[in-house]
Amino acid sequence: MREVGPVATKTVLVDLSDIHSAVAALEADAQRGAISVAEARKRISDSKRAVTPRELWKASGGRAGARKRSDWPDIRRTVFGATFLLVLAALGVWVVTVYTGKAVGSGEEDYIPEPTSVSVPADELPAEEPSG
């Protein structure tokens, strides 16, 4: 297996010899009757199209390649980075909310006061007309 250039440092590609060993193992299993000829043909075709060891492992039914993903460190780094940014944004929103609340009001007096009670005194109520 060979490493790809500086663009993708962690991606590992399948060697041609790995593909040949997978095809030989599939053909041997088809001759022994462990798998059907149609399944062997499909798996051989998928094995020839495999680019990474993980794809070869899935295509050959576990006969060649590697089960573990070769780009797992990149995936983990991306997930941790996105989680870090999300936590950082939430923390920033919280800090801005707390300090804006402290700047606007101290808690004892509200920034937006309660509206004054709009009640009509009893002596100014309209007289009720007798119903009839």
pTM: 0.52
pLDDT tens digits, residue range 5-58? 444 456 788 889 999 999 999 999 999 999 999 999 999 999 999 988 989 999
User: Where in the chain are the domains?
Assistant: 9-59, 71-103
CB burial readout 86-124, b (16+ within 10 A) else e: eeeeeeeeeeeeeeeeeeeeeeeeeeeeeeeeeeeeeee
Please enumerate in sequence order all residues whose Cβ is within 8 A of that of 57, keeping only pairs 6 or more positions apart, or say none. Answer: 64, 65, 66, 67
pLDDT tens digits, residue range 74-115? 889 999 999 999 999 999 999 998 888 777 766 566 555 666
pLDDT tens digits, residue range 62-71? 888 888 877 7
